[in-house]
Amino acid sequence: MVRGKPPLFPMIMEVGSVILKKESGSLIPNRRGREGNQMRFLIVDNQPRARQSMKALLGAWYKGEEAREAANGVEALHLVEEFQPDLVLMDVRMPKIDGLEALRRIKSKHRQVKVIVLSMYPDYEAEALAAGADAFVSKSDPPEKFRKALLEVIRHIN
């Protein structure tokens, strides 16, 4: 049996694995965020391990980033105002305010902020895109799909 790359979510959860070490360094070209500053990421997921792993993955893939974390939609909305991220990585199913409602609110006030929705549930893709997501990636997708979505969205940051 030929084995391909593991799905995104297990790779994120095993951030110290050989896969990450093998692929780190040159996956995402250095880009500046708005106004020439370092790129700012906001990672929104109710699972602390998923947030920390995604932050480590971004740090390995993208040099020169600054990342903050939020555990739910309420925290995400507050941090978008305070931190002014270039890109938000948003889970869908979270307490207080879910990711789709947080996405709608972010896009209504901050159209320039890019949002990639990440979810274990691919059924949310159409709703996420209709709500204004710049991309949707299932956590069960191969990491290459996430990397391509990330590159494409970063390319459109002013």
* DSSP bridge pairs for 32: 38
- Examine residue 91 and state whether it is found in any structural domain, yes or no: yes
* More reliable by pLDDT, 15 or 43: 43
Top pLDDT among 58 and 132 is at: 132
Residue 32 in any domain: the answer is no
CA quadruple 126, 129, 132, 135: dihedral sign: positive
Report pLDDT for 15: 40
Is 2 part of any domain?
A: no
Give a yes or no: residue 30 inside a domain: no
Predicted pLDDT at 8: 57
* Average confidence (pLDDT) over 1-11: 50
- pLDDT by residue (tens digit) across 84-119? 999 999 999 999 999 999 999 999 999 999 999 999
The pLDDT value given to residue 62: 74
Which residue range is the domain that position 65 belongs to?
A: 8-14+38-155
Decide which of 58 and 21 is more confident: 58
* 27 part of a folded domain: no
Confidence (pTM): 0.80
In a domain, 3, yes or no: no
Give the per-residue pLDDT at 21. Answer: 36
| Stronger pLDDT, 145 or 129, i.e. the higher one | 129
| Rounded (5°) CA angle 52-55-56 | 90
Judging by DSSP bridges, how do beta strands 114-119 and 87-91 pair with one another? parallel
26 in a structural domain: no
Number of domain units in the chain: 1
Residue 139: give its domain's CATH number. 3.40.50.2300
Residue 110 domain flag: yes
